[in-house]
Amino acid sequence: MVHRPTRKEREPLLSVAHGSTASRILDPTNAVAVDGVSARSTIYSSAVLLISKSVDFDDTFKRIEKAAKGLGWRAIAEDEPECAVGLRFGVRRVRLGVRPGKAAQAPDAWTVLQYLRAEGRGNARGVSLEHVLVPDPHNEPNPHNEPNPHNEPNPHNEPNPHNEPNPSYGYDPLGTGGRRPVAFVGAAPRRLVDEELNGRDRPVVAVLDTGCGPHPWLDFVQRDVRLGDHPIGWPAGVPSSEIDGDQVGPLDGLIDPVAGHGTFIAGLIHQACPDAEILSWRIVPPDGPIAETDWVTALAQVAELMHLYRAGDPRGRRIDVLSLSMGYYHETPEDQMFDGTLYPILADLSANGTLVVCSAGNDATSRPMFPAAFAPWSDGNGPVSLTADTLPIVSVGALNPNGETDALFSNSGPWVRAYERGAGVVSTFPLTFQGGYQASIATEFNGRSRSSIDPDDFTGGFGTWNGTSFAAPLLAGRIAQLLFEGGRPSDVRQDFKRMWTALEELTSFRQGAEAH
């Protein structure tokens, strides 16, 4: 099927995290090619290459600098941000530009990377594109049932579009729309007070997403857990769409495309495990795309927290489950050197007893989405092998409300190892959310106002949304609940045993059958 570029594919994206850089789509049909490297489409920062901390920076930078110079470009090594200095894992940015006094085509990181590979595959070890990640809410059906183009919100990660209601006065009878307000009339999840725990420890679920906005259910959420003196993710001074809902185009009256995403996720975890501690960090900007550097740095900080905890360092924090609802499609996953940075971070978390749960993506494709596709594949063909001293990455697809059929938008394949409800789920929204749309019909009768539903009025505190973004934290919460019921955390060996008990009950994983 021919892929028809969406509006977002035709226009450059911006990576808004800690400085903007133009992004572009890798089109394998006209990109620079190298024998033995078969590329697929992805979205990446056009003038940025990343050097992994796993290799010698100076030596690797010299090779990049030489390749860039031959193309009429220059390479500039960016200083490592203060929060990343001293971390065991991570990357450093190399920015490409046109050499002074020269005229050349706009720099392209993919071209430089391919020139490195052409000189010898080992020359590119530890060097990668800076991918643009997106969170995984599903806001509108993909009209052509195609990936779009494999990193971009789905393809219109603007509910219909830009959060516009479907016809029929905002009631959405077809069940295909994005976030919508609903009335929750049940009781709030009952959270035990500390005196009622009877010696049990609360399981800790961490979320790296858009943050967590104000909601009476979520007053206990910890929003500013730091690594030493450094914040994790975006510091408090950076404006948050979880607070006012509108940071992108603040004059347009629209709630930002992924505003409320982290609050919705926190509410799902709380419903599944009312007694869990929830740590919420902001790394997703208001309009969705995430610079890989910022995401990797935050993950490396989280891994350091858990590493310090296991070492008995008071600066550490226990994290039982880490929920990640974003991802990207790698251009060369078959290359054995394709990822020297991300997986080692996740493996370090897993080795220290943190279970990493990842959403599978919403493009209705079997193409592996990372980091979810780091899960052990059921057919044994995955890119990594599970060892006895490491917990598996858990990849989660979405089920429909009936809990039986897969949601049509959900990615699937041998790399997806668990499924949970992710379509039509109900959860929390910040109470401050009320966008510029109005009820499509409003009138009065007998002194009382009457109207259809206001499609972006979330002041009732609840809404419904769709996506593997929400299947992953729901499963994370259910795992946390089993951990809570299964006893207190202990050493790594005992924690692994507790975690595997939960995995075997809730997923297709079976201990001893996953190592390949």
Catalytic positions are 209, 261, 469
Cα–Cα distance measured from residue 260 to residue 288, given in angstroms and rounded to the nearest whole number: 11
If phi > 0 it is left, if psi is from -120 to 50 it is alpha, else beta; for residue 189 that is beta
Q: How is the chain split among helix, strand and coil, in percent rounded to 5?
A: 25, 20, 55
Burial readout 243-274 (b: 16 or more C-beta within 10 A, e: otherwise)? ebbbbbeeeeebbbbbbbbbbbbbbbbbbbbb
- The side-by-side arrangement of strands in the sheet containing 425-428 is 180-181, 462-465, 425-428
Helices (H) and strands (E) in the chain, counts: 9, 21
Distance CA 127, CA 137 (A): 30
Upstream peptide bond of 165 is cis (omega within 30 degrees of 0): no
Q: Are 321 and 479 in contact (CB under 8 A)?
A: yes
User: Which 8-state DSSP code applies to residue 314?
Assistant: T
User: How big is the CA angle at 202 (ends 201 and 205), to the nearest 5 degrees?
Assistant: 135
State whether the Cα torsion 501-502-506-508 is positive or negative. Answer: negative
CA distances to 83, 372, 384, 406 from 412, rounded to whole Å, are 36, 11, 18, 9
Q: What phi and psi, each to the nearest 5 degrees, are found at residue 14?
A: -120, 135
Q: In degrees rounded to 5, what are phi and psi of residue 284?
A: -95, 120
Provide the β-strand partners of residue 399: 406, 421
Residue 395 to residue 416: CA distance in whole angstroms: 5
Tokens standing for residue 387: 């060892």
- Residue 14 and residue 106: Cα distance in Å, rounded? 16
Residue 315 phi/psi, 5-degree rounding, is -75, -15
The rounded distance, in Å, linking the Cα atoms of 416 and 360 is 7
Contact 94, 76 (CB under 8 A): yes
SS3 state of residue 359: strand
Q: Please identify which residue in the block is written with the tokens 């971390």.
A: 87
